Amino acid sequence: MIGIDIDEVERFDCSEKFLDKIAYQDEIAHIERAKCESLRKQRVASLFSVKEAVMKALGLGKTSGVSFKDIKMSHDESGKPFVEVFGIAKQTLEKLYHGKKIEISLSHTPTTVVAVAVII
């Protein structure tokens, strides 16, 4: 399965309330390490978009009970993003795609972000 999400960066804010709703502390720390406001907004949009793409790949809609915190994005030493899943997202991955993993790809400009999630 594949999930894709595209968003306009401008629609996102970096408010503590929004970040607390969608992000783990280490995800927030990654956002806050950005050197300028524009890059912080791109990182917030990217995080949101990755989580949406993963939900779509898993076939989880708004009524499934899945939470943004069921998906966590991190980066390896080279900077490559990867996700871990918990809760409903993990249960769905194990039930429908036992033994498979989720790969993600992400790209952004100052105005647009796109994320793709593939279950392989």
Q: Per-domain residue ranges for the chain?
A: 2-119
25: tokens are: 């502390």
Structural contact between residues 74 and 82, judged by C-beta atoms closer than 8 angstroms: yes
Indicate the length of the chain as a whole number.
120
Query: How does pLDDT run across 88-110, given as a tens digit for each residue?
Result: 999 999 999 999 999 999 999 99
For residue 42, the one-letter residue type is Q
Q: Does domain 2-119 have CATH number 3.40.50.1580?
A: no
Taking only the tens of pLDDT, the chain with its 120 residues reads: 999 999 999 999 889 999 999 999 999 999 999 999 999 999 999 999 999 999 999 999 989 999 999 999 999 999 999 999 999 999 999 999 999 999 999 999 999 999 999 999
Question: How many CB atoms neighbour CB 98 within 10 A?
Answer: 7
Tell me the pTM. 0.96
d(Cα 35, Cα 22) in Å, to the nearest integer?
21
d(Cα 7, Cα 76) in Å, to the nearest integer?
24
